[in-house]
Structure 1
Amino acid sequence: MRICMVALAGLLLAGCAGSTMNQARTQSPYKTLASNKADLVVAQCVQFAWQDEAVFGVDASGYLEPVDGGGFTVYTRSAESFIDVQGGVLKYYVVQDSWVATRRLAALATCL
């Protein structure tokens, strides 16, 4: 029973994150960057950088998902910040411009 509750909660959170990301994608990205590295390498690097508790404290989170048609999305809890990596183009979206968003941008820039 507990396992079912945890699985259901995970699905609900993923659904909320998905709608937040779809809504954000209807607008211009906060920042667009480019990389010559493979998409998966960049996405994994961003995921690792965003999970650094020494930098982000309790807000450290990074989840990686493949995107239909190629590429990857790395996002934070509640999709407050996320990046789409596809074909060497990185589109960084934020729900609210803040010091955390700027710090996440700096962390992902080290992965280019």
Structure 2
Amino acid sequence: MRAILPMAAALMLIGCASSTMDTARGGAPTAQLASHKAPELVAQCIQFSWQEEAVFGDDASGYLQPRKQGGFTVYTREAESFADVYPEAGGTRVDYYAQRSDTPALRRRAAAATCL
């Protein structure tokens, strides 16, 4: 019984984040980045960089999930920022989305750029 409540809460958060991400994907990304590295490596690097408490403090979160269309999505709590990581012609494309243009969003964008 105790395991059911945390699982239900996690599934609700994923559902809310997914809806937010789908809405954002309807528009243009905040930034587009490219790399010659493999998508898996870029996605893992972004995830780990977003979990850096020294940079993001209490807001340090980074979750990674595969996309049905291929590639990966790295996202924060409530999908305030997320990055879609796709294989593209010998490398990787990263579409970065942010709900706001504030300091944490700019830091996450910069952290993602270091993974290229």
- Displacement over 3 Å in runs of 4+: none
* Inter-partner Cα distance in structure 2 for 1:15 and 1:70: 19
Give per-residue Cα distances to partners, 1:10-67, cap 9 Å, x unaligned.
1001000000000000010000010110000000000000000000000000000001
Match of 1:38 in 2: 38
TM-score by length of 1: 0.98
Distance apart, 1:2 and its partner CA: 1.6
Could you tell me how far apart the structure 2 residues matched to 1:103 and 1:38 are? 23
Look up the match of 1:14.
Answer: 14
For structure 1, the 5+ residue unaligned runs are none
Question: How many residue pairs are counted as aligned between the two chains?
Answer: 112
Q: How does 1:1-112 map to 2 (within 5 A)?
A: 1-87=1-87, 88-112=92-116
TM-score, normalised with respect to structure 2: 0.95
User: In the TM superposition, what is the alpha-carbon distance from 1:69 to its structure 2 partner?
Assistant: 2.6
Letter in 2 for 1:21: M
Amino acid in structure 2 at the alignment position of 1:5 = L
Q: Aligned equivalents of 2:47 and 2:58: distance in 1?
A: 15
Question: Distance between the aligned counterparts of 1:5 and 1:103, measured in 2?
Answer: 33
The percent identity for this pair of structures is: 57
RMSD: 0.6
Q: Kindly provide the amino acid, as one letter, of the partner of residue 33 in structure 1.
A: L
Q: Distance in 2 between matches of 1:72 and 1:86?
A: 7
Unaligned runs of 5+ in 2: none
Helix, strand or coil for the counterpart of 2:27? Answer: coil
Q: Deviations over 1:62-88 (max 9, x none)?
A: 000001131000000000000000011
Q: How far apart, in 2, do the equivalents of 1:5 and 1:70 lie?
A: 31
